[in-house]
């Protein structure tokens, strides 16, 4: 079993997701997206795997969210993708990818269900 996790080790929810997968024997490829910023296309591909739109993974409590005026619901997806690529702190975590599917691992129940459907042997 193998998966990739977009991980922030300083985030409690990200650590919980990491620990759950590790305890269940998943071999993890760890992507430290706060150190190696994802491109707009990488985020777009991730969203396609999730069946999601940019606002679904946008952290609304971050200072950058307010500073960049991202509350405006009329902003196009490209604007949100650019903001997340330039300020990856705006991306919710953890995000787990297995095969051609991905999920947001918060709450942990999302990750448990994803594990059961897509990772577990």
- Nearest CA among 32, 89, 34, 25 for reference residue 57: 89
* CATH architecture of residue range(s) 2-119: 3-Layer(aba) Sandwich (3.40)
| CA 77 – CA 8 distance, rounded (Å) | 24
Contact 98, 3 (CB under 8 A): yes
Average pLDDT of the residues in 3-11: 96
Q: How confident is the model at residue 119 (pLDDT cuts 50, 70, 90)?
A: confident
Q: Where are the domains of the chain?
A: 2-119
Whether 91 is catalytic is: no
What pLDDT is stored for residue 121 in this prediction? 62
pLDDT digits (tens, 9 = 90+) for 72-112: 999 999 999 999 999 999 999 999 999 999 999 999 999 99
Contact 95, 103 (CB under 8 A): yes
Active-site option among 11, 58, 75, 108: 11
């Amino acid at each position: 079993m193998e998966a990739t996790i977009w991980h922030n080790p300083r985030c409690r929810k990200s650590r919980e997701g990491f620990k759950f997968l590790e305890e269940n024997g998943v071999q993890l490829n760890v992507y430290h997206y706060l150190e190696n910023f994802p491109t707009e296309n990488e985020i777009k591909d991730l969203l396609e795997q999730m069946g999601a739109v940019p606002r679904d993974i946008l952290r609304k409590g971050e200072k950058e969210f307010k500073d960049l005026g991202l509350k405006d619901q009329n902003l196009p997806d490209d604007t949100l993708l650019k903001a997340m690529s330039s300020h990856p702190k705006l991306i919710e975590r953890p995000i787990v990818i297995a095969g051609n599917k991905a999920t947001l691992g918060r709450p942990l129940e999302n990750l448990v269900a994803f594990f059961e459907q897509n990772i577990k042997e």
